[in-house]
Amino acid sequence: MTMSALGEPCVLLKLGEVVLKGNNRELFEQRLQANIKAALKDFDFKVDVRQRHGVIALFLPDGTTAEVADAVAARVAYVPGLVWIHRAWRVEKDPGAVTKAAIELLADRDDVRRGVSFAVRSRRRDKRFPLTSMEIDRSVGGELNDIYGLPVDLKNPELVVSIEVDRDEVFVFTGGTPGQGGLPVGTSGRGLVLMSGGIDSPVAAYRMMRRGLRVDFLHFSGIPFTTSESIYKAYALVRALDRFQGRSRLWVVPFGKAQQSIKASGQDRLAVISQRRLMLKTAEEVARRLRAGALVTGDSLGQVSSQTLQNITAQDDAVDMPILRPLIGLDKTEIMAEARRIGTLEISELPDEDCCTLLAPRRAETAAKIADLRQIEKRLDAEELAVQLAGSLQEYKLEG
């Protein structure tokens, strides 16, 4: 059987939460389409993106190989808002053509040679097609059973041949890749992530991107009292996360001298929370300049001394802007598993000179009092200091 029996390689995308939206669903779909096109901009050909009911189909130029179609499918798997990515074949709307494509699809497969159980599952979005879904299943399934001798298992098949009848064509495929789920980036506004070099903040950024938030990244460097290692690490983390949203921006504030001032205040046990409050004040000023509506941190309740309930409350008091904490109820094992899955864990575990090591009291305060922290800030003129720090902001642009 020739390649023409399989039709044309394409990619079929299944939507998640977007299909549950009401009157503004079209806006979500338009944003998702724009994000898909942006994710594919590095390919040297134009992908035809077509919206269907609950499905987006990516049609590729004539002559596109299966390998290139695989690469397109792999790239869009990082785009939030999609729950399944299927490398499909676009087939003529004819029952005979569909059957031929299904037969060709299973040719030369190792699992078929092993005699795996199978089922055919059809979905008929276009009710004008001459066969019902059940009739397609029986017809195609019977042909496959005759040719390959595979056992049929309708409840728990090892191999599923999927057939979806659409408006202008039929899609035939097996298997698929899970997508990121969630909402399209850009549908929930803009936020600013306080990006350390640790494990937690990149995962927090990813979780908020999945909720439709477009994020910028703000890193506090210990410069001039530390090297640029932490900046390089933050840069690498942002590059890894950029796959999920594109056009990411990393901003860096040199924070070493401000830390020195906090340390000189003599409030050793409150130094960490004082530093954290100043970071939040600075981040709030930066967020306003970037037109971001919220700050994002990687706090997890009780994980370290600065993340007790009382200390988190003291940090919230420092700013008026909402602070989003998507990891607040997760433990370290769960956070590490997510970091491993999204590809940031290995980077986060690289050694670096974190600015927080400059303020490492022998015993940190776990129940900071807001009044005491405000007194320290009054002596430091923290509001003016935050504005000055925001003014020293530097952008590190991603290459490529």
CA–CA dist 324, 112 (Å, integer): 49
Per-residue buried b or exposed e for 245-257, using 16+ beta carbons within 10 Å of the residue's own CB: bbebbbbbbbbbe
| Phi, psi at 190, each rounded to 5° | -125, 140
CA–CA dist 398, 25 (Å, integer): 32
Helix pair 200-210, 229-245: axis angle to 10 deg: 20
List beta partners, residue 118: 152, 159
CA–CA dist 244, 207 (Å, integer): 10
CA atoms in the 13 A half-sphere facing the CB of 76: 35
Strand pairing category for 159-165 and 250-254: unpaired
List residues forming the annotated binding site for ATP: 194-195, 219-220, 276, 298, 307
- Residues present in the chain in total: 400
CA atoms in the 13 A half-sphere facing the CB of 119: 10
Cβ-proximal residues to 373 (8 Å cutoff; 6+ apart), any chain: 270, 273, 274, 277, 314, 317, 318
List residues forming the annotated binding site: 194-195, 219-220, 276, 298, 307
Strand pairing category for 294-296 and 190-194: parallel
| Phi, psi at 337, each rounded to 5° | -65, -40
The C-alpha angle 397, 398, 400, rounded to 5 degrees, equals 125
Asked if 60 contacts 8 with a C-beta cutoff of 8 angstroms, the reply is yes
Asked if 95 contacts 132 with a C-beta cutoff of 8 angstroms, the reply is no
Asked if 32 contacts 184 with a C-beta cutoff of 8 angstroms, the reply is yes
Region of 216 (left: φ > 0; alpha: ψ -120 to 50; beta: rest) is beta
- Evaluated on CA atoms 287, 288, 292, 295, the torsion sign reads positive
